[in-house]
Chain A
Amino acid sequence: MSSLSSITRATLEKDMRLEWRSKDTINSMLFFALLVVVIFSFAFNPTAEESRAIAGGLVWTAFLFAAVVALNQTWARELRNQVLDAYRVSPAPAVSLFLAKALGNFIFVSILEALMTPLFIVFYNLRALGPAWQLIPVAAFGTWALVVNGTFFAAISIRTRSREIMLPLLLFPISIPALLAMVEATTAILTGEDSAKFWIVLLGVYDLVFTSACLLLFERILHAE
């Protein structure tokens, strides 16, 4: 168990240091999300009162698209210099590697959300009419739901032709219940008309089911030949 956490920590630190020095992922994600925000604003009047009802959908669509940018980098980075093959032959448990990558992506996407949310509030004139603190569990569970499956499917899509396209094709259909829950919960909190409880519980169940599935099946994916 101790080796599991130490390997996870070591891999996570390595990824963080790489990102800190290059800032490739975070910069491309941020700029991409910014572009999405600006382009969306042309589709409707963003400061109108009724736009509050669709803001939840907008925010999460922007984050989802931006997250794919980070997720695609997860394993592609390890293909250079055959690092992935080195992981395969090392005695380190595959689960610890997966956890490190998923946590790394969680941190990246959370930073993105923390930086982009003020921008959304300013651009779309948002104000939560419901209990705003509930946005924190929604964001945490929702982000984990996206990155845990995203990290897993990125490991699948690097084994295909045109891998950058394959990831969203696999990730989006499977993520539909999670996306629906995130969007509905956010809308419920922003408009203050409904309770977001059911959706938060659903997100929790989704996270539990797919985290278990990823941890159980990742070793087979890593060693697939």
Chain B
Amino acid sequence: MKPAFTIFALLTLCLLSYALYAALVVAPTELTMGDVQRIFYYHVPSAWTAFILFTINFVASVVYLIKRSVKADIVALVSAEVGVVFCTVVLVTGPIWARPVWGIWWTWDIRLTTTLVLWLIYVAYLMLRRFSVGSQTALIAAVLAVFGALDVPLVYFSIWFFRTQHPSPVIGKGGSLDPVMAHVLLINWAAFMCFGFLVCWSRYRLEKVKRDTEETQALEALLEHGAPR
């Protein structure tokens, strides 16, 4: 195992533990919602991490379409896989929070629906990769990723016009987030990003080994078959 990977894994572990402590102990309890609000420190960082991973998937897919590099294809694959996992965390933690606070598990509001559609698009992407046969997988997957990315703004605008209920963003304009809460949120985001990249990294190495092995096996089979008897 590469030392850089081990060091990064240990750092991520420390950061994750501190983030957990910060979210559960350091952060003040929210006045109206109470302790259930603490899910915010998992929900929001997971969402940001998922969106960043999907952006990486799009960039890697475009790079693949231009340069046809195997590395870009593996990056696109692993970022989509890990992105879908984080997006699932968002979609699961959201209703757990919404039930006591809004009184309903789910509402067809703009951010919820857009996130759900995004999840559907990337699950379709992963299914395409799984069902695809032969060597053209990388190309057709990259093309689908471009279509998915083009779709996101259209999904957002269509649902924006449709309806809106999600709490408006608390970061940036008009936000009134307690500084300690903001600090804890950012710590958690950093921890989740590190964790996401750690999983991507190890998945990247696994996929690389898998492809190298397949290539070697194919080559060996060819040599064996083609060898004079």
- Produce 1/0 per residue, B5-37, CB < 8 A to A: 000000000000000000000000000000000
Interface residues of B in 99-154 (CB under 8 A from A): 117, 120-121, 123-124, 127-128, 131-136, 139-140, 143-144, 146-148, 150-151, 154
Taking a contact as CB atoms under 8 Å apart, the answer to whether A198 and B128 are in contact is no
Taking a contact as CB atoms under 8 Å apart, the answer to whether B128 and A156 are in contact is yes
Task: State the A residues within 8 Å of B (CB).
Answer: 149, 156, 159-162, 166, 169-170, 172-174, 176-178, 180-181, 184, 198-199, 202, 205-206, 209-210, 213, 217, 220-221, 224-225
Taking a contact as CB atoms under 8 Å apart, the answer to whether A180 and B158 are in contact is yes
| Residues in B whose Cβ lies below 8 Å from that of A221 | 139-140, 143
- In the bound assembly, the distance between CA atoms of A202 and B128 in angstroms comes to 28
Instruction: Give me 13 A-to-B residue pairs in the complex whose CB atoms sit less than 8 angstroms apart, sorted by A's number.
Output: A156-B143, A159-B133, A160-B131, A161-B132, A169-B124, A169-B127, A177-B155, A199-B161, A210-B150, A213-B146, A213-B147, A217-B65, A224-B139
Taking a contact as CB atoms under 8 Å apart, the answer to whether B154 and A177 are in contact is yes
| Residues in A whose Cβ lies below 8 Å from that of B157 | 177, 202
Number of chain B residues close to chain A: CB under 8 A: 30
Taking a contact as CB atoms under 8 Å apart, the answer to whether A173 and B117 are in contact is yes
Q: Which of these, A174, A178, A220, contacts B65 with CB under 8 Å?
A: A220
Task: State the B residues within 8 Å of A (CB).
Answer: 65, 117, 120-121, 123-124, 127-128, 131-136, 139-140, 143-144, 146-148, 150-151, 154-155, 157-159, 161-162
Taking a contact as CB atoms under 8 Å apart, the answer to whether A156 and B144 are in contact is yes
Taking a contact as CB atoms under 8 Å apart, the answer to whether B117 and A176 are in contact is yes
Query: Closest Cβ of chain A: how far from B95's Cβ, in Å?
Result: 20
Minimal Cβ-Cβ distance residue in A for B143: A217
- In the bound assembly, the distance between CA atoms of A205 and B158 in angstroms comes to 11
Taking a contact as CB atoms under 8 Å apart, the answer to whether A209 and B136 are in contact is no
| Residues in A whose Cβ lies below 8 Å from that of B144 | 156, 170
